[in-house]
Structure 1
Amino acid sequence: MGVNSETSTYDVVVIGGGPVGENAADYAIRGSERTAVIIEHQLVGGECSYWACMPSKGLLGPGAALAAAQALPGARERLSDVAPDPSAVLARRDTITSGRDDSSQVEWAQNAGIDVIRGHGRIVGDRKVSVGDRHIRAREAVVIATGSIASIPPVAGLREALPWTSRDATNLIDIPERIVVLGGGVVACEAATWLLDLGVRELTMAVRGSRLLPKDEPFVGEMVANSLTERGADIRFGTELDRVERPDAADSGYGRLHGGPARVTLRGSGDTLEVDEILVAAGRAPATADLGLGAIDLPDTGPLTVDDHLIVSGHPWLYAVGDVNGRVALTHMGKYQARVAGDVIAARAEGRNLDSSRYSAFADHSAVPQVVFTRPEVAAVGITEQQARDDGVDVTVADMDIAVAGTYLLDPEYSGHAKLVIDRARDVIIGATFVGAGTAELVHSATVAVVGEVPIERLWHAVPSYPTVSEIWLRLLESLR
């Protein structure tokens, strides 16, 4: 320890200041005399606030609003343009992200009794963390909530071309006329949606698999692909990048074009595209490197293995929440884990037992909700029919287009689809998927049904309001009679 070093002690030390870390610290000390500190080397508020959930939905909202107005006679006649104004959209995005100024998030933490230390936290021993010359000891727990980072596939010349990742796409300043999007998952599909809204002239999606959004029911990817294609996207399935050439690549900052045009050669076809930018949306990896995990005999790559209390195996004082544990890479599920972990830390500090279900993150296994804000929207929870059958579950399904009075009122030509997967033996829903405008607001009712294991017979008495899109619940139940 150097002569200028400083040592501090807190009950709870959290490495990572995103919403997941914030929730873990808050729940661990709320209503008590315990102390907590968050260590963050970038922005308090994390990926979600500045580079992911919030800015992406800010970019997607105006296009969705115009599409909704365009669908309704009486509204469409008042529209002067069906495309959003790019400068206004980007200005709104900057308002949502506070121009990447995290002072309000720091103020929230301080008001919650949580200290904030700027710097890179590293574990140096049991319950011990260093930040530069500063040494911090945790009485009760250390929580790792460092999230994940974008993965760059090992394609010749790709890394050297300095491609965009999701951080650039959500913080774009320069709108490329021609772009290739590598990937077919949530980030790729949402980014393609807003890039087309903002005026990208040529958008090519290089998708390794045979469909978009492959973790969802097959009709999901088909409907999203059809919509993107109708809007001008060129989707190449079964396609990977073979090599990339960009001789004048330049690190010009988030959302700027990273140099001049790039030549992208596609594997298999040998086609070569000249594009202004490349967006890599090919997955993410847990941010575990350079955390000092070797000091406590843990690997410094890959996810941290945890139990349902979010405790790292073999280290009863160490917790890992959010993307870093590799269970579910969704902000709301990370926050859920953080709430559970915080409650566990508080209970253990106070000598209470952990028998209650509130101390177990069991929803991660089979009741994960997600919304994909493409057009059409995708909302799903639980498992797909194929996943259920692969698990040996005897299932029946309710599967139909969404066509009720509420959808006609949204759009006379509304297009949507819904599917329920039901465990035949238990007569409960284990999966639900909705595609169509306005379906994001249907997923929580499905989540309650899945988590609560509500029998189908009982769901008949959950009456949907008329005339709303939720009336599809009645139609689905009728199909099971």
Structure 2
Amino acid sequence: MSEARENQERGTYDVVVLGAGPVGANVADRARAAGLTVAVVERELVGGECAYWACVPSKALLRPVIALADAHRVDGARQAVTDRPDTGRVFARRNHYVNDWDDTGQAEWVKSIGADLYRGHGRLDGPRRATVTRDDGARLTLTARHAVAIATGSRPTLPDIPGIAESRPWTNRHGTDSSTVPTRLAIVGGGGVGVEMATLWQGLGSQVTLLARHRLIPRMEPFAGELIARSLTEAGADVRIGIQVTAVRRPDPTGPVTLTLDDGSELQADEVMFATGRTPATEDIGLDTVGLTPGTWLKVDTTGLVRDVDGAWLYALGDVNHQALLTHQGKYQARTAGDAIGARAAGRPLDDGPWGDHATTADQHAVPQVFFTDPEAASVGLTAEQAAQAGHRIHTVDLDFNAALGANLYADDYRGHARMVVDLDREVLLGVTFVGPGVSELLHSATVAVAGEVPLKRLRHAIACFPTVSEIWLFLLAAYHRKRT
């Protein structure tokens, strides 16, 4: 009998992974590379939220909107742009990149790495055990010799306000899988999902009203949200900061929705979308069978091990551990954890110190994030406020992008801003933020500088090509040098 068939017959594997999104796929891949047998359990589509309702479809939809905006910024090109995006083609493009919500290819990939895929609802059933309940009600038990990895992600959080259920609001899933452009769309929430969806649907022809309790994208430098708010307003959106929704009503299921606001006014829209945070998808995965509280975020160490469970067998990776709700960070955690699982299974020592092979140090020091708004906003590491609160002695350098000729050649009257946060005691970068057209492609250079703790006296020898947008690095470093001398 083959090893794979024997594993299936007995339901026993070295590693069991709950969740087949990008995080689950990466930990499974690393565990298989270490020579371990792996079972992967998925109750929805293999590929997860990112592939079908978040990162991939949102960027597929946003790119035509941003491409047209970029064309409008270049004389000679703007004259050729005479209309809005072709929404039919935009939605067809999205459908192509999500494979029409068919996960056959992703499922085949899981099998190609030598892992076994089980479709159904996976739940813990005590230490090193999980059950899988299929759609037909059949139930089977899987046992893990070494590790169970929870990679079940998160789901949208809806506020507890009157009328929310009856109003049938959009969440990020509706915002990325819908193929009808509402005439009026109210978006509640000024974080990354809110500003991206406002950019998208305003660009596709909706009259968007964006409601935010606080400033936009509050985890970035304040100027990022200010520039995005200005651009959305210029595009025709109604951006309201410092506003809360207190009630929602939709008496006619096919009619408009009315939002009651905390300033006493009302707002009518054809659809309302709530982008008000995420909740861990851990409420029904058997946490209580191992002494944990269902529905909670799971605390982990630097290798991804859950702290409150004995025996070094339970891992929580990606959104569920609340370290950084970003696909790329979850994949990074998964690769690290997969290597750690392999090392522990083989009895090898762990390198889990700062920046070690088995430590997710970047989760604390060098998390990159990008919002594909117009303009784009990209950052890595700490903001100036976060760095000061952490006790660092800092200096900030701020420059508008029009200091770089490459930016002005990229877009006439290029509008953007950059900031770097310097640790004065070590003269390394603690954080960098860019806002402007096309700046997402600058972010990896900043991430390397922050994660690598590259001394500024060395970084100044990394020459930016002329004339590119990346010349902003030259001007930032020169400004810091002038300040210090």
TM-score (norm 1): 0.95
Match of 1:254 in 2: none
Task: Count the aligned residue pairs.
Answer: 463
Which secondary structure does the structure 1 equivalent of 2:31 belong to?
helix
Deviation at residue 353 of structure 1 after TM alignment:
0.6
Q: Distance in 2 between matches of 1:192 and 1:73?
A: 26
Q: Distance in 2 between matches of 1:362 and 1:475?
A: 30
Say whether residues 1:309 and 2:303 are aligned partners: yes
Match of 2:257 in 1: 262
The one-letter amino acid of 1:64's match is I
Q: Distance in 1 between matches of 2:326 and 2:172?
A: 15
The one-letter amino acid of 1:451's match is A
Match of 1:398 in 2: 397
Say whether residues 1:447 and 2:447 are aligned partners: yes
Deviation at residue 6 of structure 1 after TM alignment:
7.5
Which stretch of structure 1 is more off in the superposition, 23-32 or 463-472? Answer: 23-32
Q: Distance in 2 between matches of 1:430 and 1:372?
A: 20
Q: Distance in 1 between matches of 2:209 and 2:71?
A: 28
Q: Distance in 1 between matches of 2:371 and 2:344?
A: 37
Deviation at residue 203 of structure 1 after TM alignment:
1.4
Match of 1:328 in 2: 324
Equivalent of residue 212 in structure 1, options 199, 210, 216: 216
Deviation at residue 460 of structure 1 after TM alignment:
1.1
Q: Distance in 1 between matches of 2:273 and 2:469?
A: 35
8 Å contact from structure 1 (residues 37, 115) kept in 2: yes
The one-letter amino acid of 1:355's match is D
Match of 1:114 in 2: 115
Match of 2:136 in 1: none
Q: Distance in 2 between matches of 1:208 and 1:78?
A: 39
8 Å contact from structure 1 (residues 6, 134) kept in 2: no
Deviation at residue 242 of structure 1 after TM alignment:
1.4
Say whether residues 1:352 and 2:348 are aligned partners: yes
Which digits, 9 at most, give the CA deviation of each residue in 1:12-34, with x for residues without a partner? 100001000000000011152x2
8 Å contact from structure 1 (residues 341, 359) kept in 2: yes
Say whether residues 1:18 and 2:21 are aligned partners: yes
Match of 1:299 in 2: 293
Q: Distance in 1 between matches of 2:251 and 2:338?
A: 49
Which secondary structure does the structure 1 equivalent of 2:357 belong to?
helix
Match of 2:164 in 1: 158
Match of 1:80 in 2: 82
Q: Distance in 1 between matches of 2:225 and 2:338?
A: 37
Which digits, 9 at most, give the CA deviation of each residue in 1:382-411, with x for residues without a partner? 000011111111101111101212111111
Which digits, 9 at most, give the CA deviation of each residue in 1:61-97, with x for residues without a partner? 001111222222222232232x211111001000010
Which secondary structure does the structure 2 equivalent of 1:358 belong to?
coil
Match of 1:59 in 2: 61
Structure 1 portions without partners, runs of 5+:
250-258
8 Å contact from structure 1 (residues 39, 119) kept in 2: yes
Equivalent of residue 144 in structure 2, options 135, 138, 161: 138
8 Å contact from structure 1 (residues 6, 135) kept in 2: no
Q: What are the within-5 Å matches in structure 2 for residues 147-186 of structure 1?
A: 147-186=153-192
Match of 2:473 in 1: 473
8 Å contact from structure 2 (residues 228, 375) kept in 1: yes
Q: Distance in 1 between matches of 2:269 and 2:72?
A: 31
Give the aligned CA root-mean-square deviation in angstroms. Answer: 1.2
Q: Distance in 1 between matches of 2:82 and 2:223?
A: 34
Which secondary structure does the structure 2 equivalent of 1:264 belong to?
strand
Deviation at residue 439 of structure 1 after TM alignment:
0.7
Match of 2:272 in 1: 278
8 Å contact from structure 2 (residues 149, 316) kept in 1: yes
Q: Distance in 2 between matches of 1:176 and 1:290?
A: 34
Match of 1:252 in 2: none
Which secondary structure does the structure 2 equivalent of 1:273 belong to?
strand
Match of 1:255 in 2: none
Query: What is the aligned-residue identity percentage?
Result: 49
Match of 2:41 in 1: 39
Q: Distance in 2 between matches of 1:20 and 1:88?
A: 31
Which secondary structure does the structure 2 equivalent of 1:159 belong to?
coil
Runs of at least 4 residues of structure 1 off by over 3 A?
none
8 Å contact from structure 2 (residues 128, 313) kept in 1: yes
Match of 2:93 in 1: 92
The one-letter amino acid of 1:136's match is L
Q: Distance in 2 between matches of 1:290 and 1:301?
A: 7
Deviation at residue 160 of structure 1 after TM alignment:
2.3
Deviation at residue 7 of structure 1 after TM alignment:
4.9
Q: Distance in 2 between matches of 1:274 and 1:78?
A: 35
Say whether residues 1:384 and 2:388 are aligned partners: no
Which secondary structure does the structure 1 equivalent of 2:125 belong to?
strand
Q: Distance in 2 between matches of 1:414 and 1:367?
A: 28
The one-letter amino acid of 1:319's match is Y
Match of 2:4 in 1: none
8 Å contact from structure 2 (residues 75, 412) kept in 1: no
8 Å contact from structure 1 (residues 7, 135) kept in 2: no
8 Å contact from structure 1 (residues 406, 469) kept in 2: yes
Match of 1:101 in 2: 102
Which secondary structure does the structure 2 equivalent of 1:480 belong to?
helix
8 Å contact from structure 1 (residues 398, 420) kept in 2: yes
8 Å contact from structure 2 (residues 284, 295) kept in 1: no
Seen in structure 2, the aligned counterparts of structure 1 residues 372 and 321 have a Cα distance that, compared at 3 Å, is same
Deviation at residue 158 of structure 1 after TM alignment:
1.2
Q: Distance in 2 between matches of 1:41 and 1:105?
A: 14
Q: Distance in 2 between matches of 1:386 and 1:76?
A: 39
TM-score (norm 2): 0.94
Which digits, 9 at most, give the CA deviation of each residue in 1:120-178, with x for residues without a partner? 00101110000122000001110000000000001111122110000000011221111
